[in-house]
């Protein structure tokens, strides 16, 4: 019985450590992606720059706010390397907040591959992030990070204290810390997904154009979302990543949520 219990505990430790490392890698990878546009300094046609600025100005005028600055880059993140998928792994657009000034950065493929209406839908989605950020406090934006660091430090201190005072409790303390860290990151991913859905609803409320939103989601699913691998084990792992670590919901789920929102809550 003791040996079996030790095996179970060891497996739990390894699984917990693996999940923590994977979750941290995903978070750090998403953070790094937002900075990788600087690696692609290829000049972008001035017409695309004007198109991006015009789309943002059009949606900002609908809510009577000052449009954020815009920029266009060849790729957001690293190029996929696939000629059939002329995008980067950073997606179609991202909103950056540097020195208190928001800038919406569009990928070139979004402006060349989407209709003007779909580009406006994308711009409206990013404008939602800008508005929600401006209306939130610094405590709300960074509270999760402070909480996560406090949790990890408290768990490390508890584990060290257990090693000194009661070595038998060090294992359970470490397991509890890892479990809490994974749960905390899962909550953050859930919050990110909620923010994406909220931005989608804002966009479809603003444009009232579900067809443009559908075009945008189809484009995202075809050119940005990673296809599932062929192997059974790799496919299961990819689905696990999408289920637990992806900050953006599935495009079809996003479109369904927008459709329900537009039908159930029509504007006055």
Mean residue pLDDT of the chain comes to: 77
The predicted structure's pLDDT at residue 38 = 45
Task: Band the pLDDT of 37: cuts 50, 70, 90.
Answer: very low
* CA pair distance 201, 190, nearest whole angstrom: 17
216 vs 20: which has the higher pLDDT = 216
Confidence check: pLDDT of 152 > 80: no
Task: Band the pLDDT of 172: cuts 50, 70, 90.
Answer: confident
138 vs 216: which has the higher pLDDT = 216
* CA pair distance 70, 76, nearest whole angstrom: 14
Q: Averaged over 200-206, what is the pLDDT? A: 94
The predicted structure's pLDDT at residue 158 = 72
Q: What pLDDT, in 10s, does the model give residues 133-143? A: 887 655 555 66
Confidence check: pLDDT of 194 > 70: yes
Q: Averaged over 152-179, what is the pLDDT? A: 72
Contact criterion met (CB below 8 Å) for 124 and 153 = no
Least confident of 22-26, 187-191, 251-255, 257-261: 22-26
The predicted structure's pLDDT at residue 161 = 75
Percentage of residues in the chain having pLDDT higher than 70: 61
Q: Averaged over 41-58, what is the pLDDT? A: 86
DSSP the chain: -HHHHHHHHHHHHHHHHHHHHHHHHHHHHHHHHTTGGGG------HHHHHHHHHHHHHHHHHTT-PPPEEEEES-SSSB---TT--SBTTBSEEEEEETTEEEEEEEHHHHHHS-HHHHHHHHHHHHHHHHHHHTS-HHHHHHHHHHHHHHHHHHHHHHHHHHHH-GGGHHHHHHHHHHHHHHHHHHHHHHHHHHHHHHHHHHHHHH--HHHHHHHHHHHHHHTSPPPPSSHHHHHHHHHHHHHT-SS--HHHHHHHHHHHHHHS---
* CA pair distance 35, 28, nearest whole angstrom: 11
The predicted structure's pLDDT at residue 103 = 93
pTM of the predicted protein model = 0.73
């Amino acid at each position: 019985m003791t040996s079996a219990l030790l095996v179970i505990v060891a497996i739990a430790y390894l699984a917990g450590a693996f999940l923590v490392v994977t979750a941290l890698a995903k978070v750090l990878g998403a953070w790094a992606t937002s900075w990788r546009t600087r690696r692609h300094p290829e000049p972008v046609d001035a017409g695309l720059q004007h198109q991006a600025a015009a789309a943002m100005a059009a949606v900002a005028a609908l809510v009577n706010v000052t449009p954020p600055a815009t920029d266009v880059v060849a790729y957001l993140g690293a190029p996929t390397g696939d000629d059939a998928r002329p995008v980067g792994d950073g997606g179609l657009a991202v909103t950056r907040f540097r020195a208190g000034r928001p800038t919406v950065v569009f990928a070139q493929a979004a402006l060349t591959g989407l209709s003007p209406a779909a580009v406006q839908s994308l711009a409206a989605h990013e404008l939602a992030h800008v508005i929600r950020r401006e209306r939130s406090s610094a405590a709300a934006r960074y509270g999760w990070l402070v909480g996560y660091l406090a949790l990890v430090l408290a768990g490390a201190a508890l584990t060290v204290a257990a090693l000194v005072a009661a070595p038998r409790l060090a294992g359970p303390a470490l397991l509890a810390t890892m479990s809490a860290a994974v749960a905390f990151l899962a909550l953050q991913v859930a919050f990110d997904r909620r923010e994406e859905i909220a931005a989608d609803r804002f966009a479809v409320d603003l444009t009232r154009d579900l067809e443009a939103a559908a075009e945008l989601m189809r484009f995202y699913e075809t050119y940005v979302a990673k296809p599932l691998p062929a192997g059974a084990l790799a496919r299961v792992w990819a689905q696990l990543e999408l289920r637990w670590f992806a900050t953006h919901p599935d495009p079809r789920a996003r479109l369904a949520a927008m459709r329900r929102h537009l039908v159930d809550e029509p504007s006055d």
